[in-house]
Structures are given as structure tokens and as C-alpha cells.
Amino acid sequence: MSTSTVRAVGKSEPLSWSRTVERELVHRTSVAEVLLTDVRPTDTPHVFLAAASWPRAHATFPRDGSQRHSPLILVETLRQLGLYIPLRFYAVPEVFRAVITDLHFHLSPADELPARAGATEITCSARVSAVRRVPDESAVGLRLNVTFAACGVTFGRGGGGVRFLDGARFAALRARSAVHAVPARTPEGGYRPPAAQLTVNHPHDAVLALDQGELLVSPADPLHPFFFDHPTDHVPGMVLLEAARQAVSYRSRGRLSRPLFGRLKASRFTELTPPARVLCTRHGSTCAFRILQGGTETACGTFGYT
């Protein structure tokens, strides 16, 4: 279906928060993890309005005691938009594999509203750019920039890039790395820091282990309902982002736990084994991080705090 055909359907109808979008189009197995409730094209080409419902207390995302939503729920909404919009409006086949190349987010604390009793209704404005297509008009890559608002007040923004690969191209991209079935357990002799030191709600939310002074990506729960909602042959980007956040919190003894802005760039897949190392370096209110596996950098980024 072409973009122009879809744009003519229901564009004047108001956004709805009544039910979630199809879970398959945001790559979720559990409906409980679907945040998007509606996505509609606008009269402006490549611009979309979307509705998302943020639960008051997500089982995984910690808050800092101020009743504000975790920034990771914004990133997850961004991830779901980056999948749903191409699949629904840009003719990307559902069987294609999505590869997120980079992402960024920024929050304005003065404009954030506290989490509400039930759920917070979020309005998103998403602009698509840099669309790359193949001859049959299917999109194989694009960039997305999104603003996030609640009660008419814009409080955050984010964006990133995504590629879509057919089975053969994805297999070729994965061929350079070994494939493993389940996430690595805590390394022998390793130590799992207490949940409070990682600023997570529950020990099973930890995605780090400490081994001889090094912080390693090692999820406590290989069947975690959010991080591993569906089978994967590599460490998901959200796990890498959370591992970096936990690493900064641990190294700063909890003083830096809620980033207000962040960036992540993946240069290659991070495999499930051996456990990747997380390095973080603080520069005032900014912290740079790197993910290393077998001596090779797989991802890097920065977090900014107040």
C-alpha cells in the first residue's frame, strides 16, 4: 500500500487511547508491553501523529522518587514508532528484520508532568526523513524524529535511524558473528550488585554483573518480560542502553541514575556470549560509555544528567 493511499484514510479522526496497536507491528509478544494506541498520517507528507499510553508504574522502569516516568519508557515508545510507521505506512514487509543503528533522547524536567493515577496519555509528533527505497517502493531505511507531549505541553524529544533487511541480507550481516541461543549467566566468580546499587526495582531487572572489577552485560533473567519479550540471537539495544544506565548509577553510587539526555550508536551486533564489558567515564554532569566485546567496540554513547 502506498503512502499516499494510506494518508487519505481517517486522517481527520482524533487520536484514540482506547486500545493498543497490533503487537506484531511493534515487535512485541505481550500486549501489556505495547505502548502505542494510535498512529495517523497528517496532511504534511512524512509527518505522523501518534498516541501512547504510559503506565504509572511499569514493572521494570524505575522512577527516582519524584513520580516522573523513566526516560527509558520514552525510548521504548520511540522504538515502537520506528517499527510501526515503516511497517504500516512505508510498505516494509513484516518478515524483514529491523536493525536500529542509533538513537537519541532529551527531556525537559521543567515541563515533565508527574505520572498519573492510571496512565499518562502521551501525544507524539513524528517526522520521517532520509527514506531509502528499493525498486518495488519498499523502504529499507529511514530516520525518525519525534516530540513527546502530555496535556498539550511538549516535554521531550528523540530520534534515530533504522534499517530493514530481508532474510538473506540479515543472515549475511550476522554471519561474521557466532549466534547463541540464550543470554549469558553471571560469569563464574562474578558478583551481582544489589538492586539498589543499580537503581532497579527488583533483582531480576539487573542486566549487569561485576567480575574482577569489570562491569559485564549479564541479564539476571534471560526470560525477562520486557528485555526478552521474544527470542533474540543478540543483545537487544534496550538492554545495552539499560546496562549503560545501570553502570553509570553503580559507578556514581546512585548519584547519576536518571539521565535527561542520551545517545546510543551501535557499530555492530553485541553477541549474547561472551559477556560484553561496559566502560563509563564521567565528565561533570555527562558520562560517556562504551560496550566492548572481545576487544571490539560494539556500541557507544553518552548520558547527560542535572
Q: Which three cell numbers stand for residue 141?
A: 531505511
163 with 61, same domain: the answer is: yes
The tens digit of pLDDT for each residue in 218-251 reads 999 999 999 999 889 899 999 999 999 999 999 9
**Per the confidence metrics, is the pTM higher than 0.95?**
no
* pLDDT score for 305: 96
CA distance linking residue 191 with residue 171, whole number of Å: 35
Q: Which domain-ending residue is among 110, 140, 171?
A: 171
154 with 68, same domain: the answer is: yes
**% of the chain exceeding 90 in pLDDT:** 79
* pLDDT score for 66: 72
166 with 221, same domain: the answer is: no
Quote the number of domains for the chain. Answer: 2
31 with 160, same domain: the answer is: yes
Amino acid letter, 256:
L
The DSSP letter of residue 44 is: S
* pLDDT score for 62: 73
Question: Quick check: 87 pLDDT over 50?
Answer: yes
196 with 118, same domain: the answer is: no
Would you say residue 149 lies in a domain?
yes
Q: Which domain-ending residue is among 137, 171, 205?
A: 171
CA distance linking residue 102 with residue 161, whole number of Å: 6
142 with 99, same domain: the answer is: yes
What is the CATH number for 94?
Answer: 3.10.129.10
213 with 132, same domain: the answer is: no
The tens digit of pLDDT for each residue in 118-162 reads 899 999 999 999 999 988 888 999 999 999 999 999 999 999 999
Q: Which domain-ending residue is among 138, 171, 204?
A: 171
Q: How many CB atoms are located within 10 Å of the residue 223 CB?
A: 12
Would you say residue 250 lies in a domain?
yes
Please answer whether residues 198 and 215 qualify as being in contact, where contact means their C-beta atoms are separated by less than 8 angstroms: no
Range of the domain at 204: 191-304
100 with 225, same domain: the answer is: no
206 with 164, same domain: the answer is: no
Would you say residue 103 lies in a domain?
yes
* pLDDT score for 82: 98
Would you say residue 7 lies in a domain?
no
* pLDDT score for 6: 37
Would you say residue 2 lies in a domain?
no
Question: Quick check: 9 pLDDT over 60?
Answer: no
Would you say residue 5 lies in a domain?
no
Would you say residue 18 lies in a domain?
no
CA distance linking residue 137 with residue 36, whole number of Å: 26
